[in-house]
Amino acid sequence: MTLVRPALEGATERPARRQTRRAGARSPYPTWFFLPAGVFYLVLFVVPTGASFWFALTRWNLFSAEFVGLANFQQFFREPALVKGFVNTFVYAFLTSGAKVVLGLALAVLLTSQIIARGWLRSVVFFPVLVSTIGVGVMFKVLLDPFDGAVNTVLSWVGVTGPGWLTDPSLALFSVALVDVWKGVGLATLIYIAGLVAIPQEYYEAARVDGANAWQNFRSITLPLVRPATVTVVLLSLIGGLRSFDLIWTMTRGGPGFSSDVIGSVIYKQYQAGFYGLSTAGNVVLFVVIALIIFPLSRWLNRKEVTL
C-alpha cells in the first residue's frame, strides 16, 4: 500500500495542474495580481540566467565584453587545476553521499529503537545541521591543525602521531569530506527516521511469525520499504556534494596547492582573478554537469520506486 501511494499522489496531481492551466481565463485572480512576483522572477532569475549564458561566450572585464565564442569553455577545460577539480568533485560528492546514506540509515535504525534518551540523542545528531557551514569549517580547521589541534593532541596521548589532516595533499580532501559527513548526516538521519516510522509494524510481525532474524528483517523489509527516503537522501547529498564550496573554501581554500580543489573553488578563483567571462563559463559547465547527473539519476531512482 505505502509503496503505491507516492505514485498515486503524482498521478492525481498532474491532471489537476493541467486543468488549472487550461482554465487560465477563469482564474480567480486578475492578471495584474501575478505581476509583482512575475517582475521579481524575471529580474532576479530569468534575466541573470539568460545573461550568464551570453557572458559565458565573452571575455568580460565588467567594463566591456568582447565576444569570443567558445574560447572560454576551451580555456576552462585546459585549466590545469580543472581536471583535478573535476575528479575531486566526484570523489567528494559520491563519498559524502555514500557515507550519509550508510551512516544516516544506521543512526536512524538506532534512533527509532527503544533506547534511553532517544529524543536527546536525536537532537544531538541533528544539531550540526543547524550550525553555519563557515563556522564548522573554521572550527575544524583549528581542531585539525597538525601541531596544536585538539585532534592530534588527543592522538598523541595514546602514542599516535596524527597526520597533517589538511596540509597533507593526499589527505586534505578526505578530511574535508569527513567534516561534511559529520555536518550533514543529521539531515539524512532525520529523513530516514521519517521513512522508518512510516513502515507498518505488521510486516515485522509477519516476519517474526515466519522466523526471520534481525538481519533478514532489515534486508527484506526495512531496506526496500525505506527506498523513498534513500532516494531523497542520495539526491540531496549528491547535489550538495557536487556544488560543494563553502566548507572546502574555509578549510583548505582548495589547497595545499590544488589538491582539494573542486569545480566550485576553481570557478571562484577565476572570478577572484577578474576572469568574469571564464568563471561564468565555469558556472554554465557546472550547471550542465549537475543537470546531466541528477536528471537521469532522479528519473531512474523514481521509476524503480514505482515498479517495485
Binding interface with other proteins (CB under 8 A)? 31-32, 35-36, 38-39, 43, 59, 61-64, 66, 71, 75, 78, 80-81, 145-147, 164, 166-169, 253-259, 269-275, 278
Minimum Å gap between C-beta 92 and other proteins is 18
Considering beta carbons, is residue 134 or 206 the nearer one to other proteins? 134
Q: How would you class 190 by CB atoms within 10 Å of its CB: exposed for 0-12, middle for 13-18, buried for 19 or more?
A: buried
Measuring CA to CA, how many Å separate 171 from each of 68, 154, 250, 252, 264?
A: 39, 19, 16, 11, 19
Considering beta carbons, is residue 58 or 222 the nearer one to other proteins? 58
**Dihedral of the CA atoms 254, 259, 262, 264 (nearest 10)?**
20
Minimum Å gap between C-beta 218 and other proteins is 43
Contact 179, 247 (CB under 8 A): yes
Q: Give me the amino acid identity at 215.
A: W
- Spell out the residues 6+ positions from residue 128 whose beta carbon is closer than 8 angstroms to its own: 136, 182, 183, 184, 185, 186
Minimum Å gap between C-beta 47 and other proteins is 11
Minimum Å gap between C-beta 300 and other proteins is 38
Considering beta carbons, is residue 68 or 190 the nearer one to other proteins? 68
Considering beta carbons, is residue 61 or 132 the nearer one to other proteins? 61
Considering beta carbons, is residue 100 or 145 the nearer one to other proteins? 145
Minimum Å gap between C-beta 145 and other proteins is 6
